[in-house]
Amino acid sequence: MEKCQGCHGKDGLGGQPFIPNIAGQKEFYFVQSLMAYKAGDRKSQSMSDALKGLSDEDLANVAAYYAAIKLTVAVPK
């Protein structure tokens, strides 16, 4: 999880414009996305590097953690 927090933060809000927020991401979608990065089907060198050595169980745990973060949404008027 520390690898993820380095860019996305413990709160899942990636503090830079080029780093996406992952807090509150749907768990199933997030697992599928992480698996695609790990397999090379989605391309991002930093994500591929971060996922090296992580098991499928690790990816599921990461997805569950960030999916459990609750967000408040405000729709623009």
Give pLDDT tens digits for 37-76: 999 999 999 998 999 899 999 999 999 999 999 999 999 9
What is the residue range of 50's domain? Answer: 2-67
Q: How far is it, in rounded angstroms, from Cα 32 to Cα 38?
A: 10
Domain assignment of residue 41, yes or no? yes
Q: Is residue 73 part of a domain?
A: no
Binned at pLDDT 50, 70 and 90, residue 1 comes out as confident
Asked if 62 and 23 count as a contact pair (C-beta separation under 8 A), the reply is: no
Residue 59, in any domain of the structure: yes
Which tokens belong to 54?
A: 């992580």
Task: Check which CATH number belongs to the domain holding 40 and give it.
Answer: 1.10.760.10
Rounded to whole angstroms, the Cα distance separating 69 from 77 reads 25
Query: Could you tell me if residue 31 is inside a domain?
Result: yes
Number of structural domains in the chain: 1
**pLDDT, position 17:** 92
Q: What is the pLDDT of residue 3?
A: 84
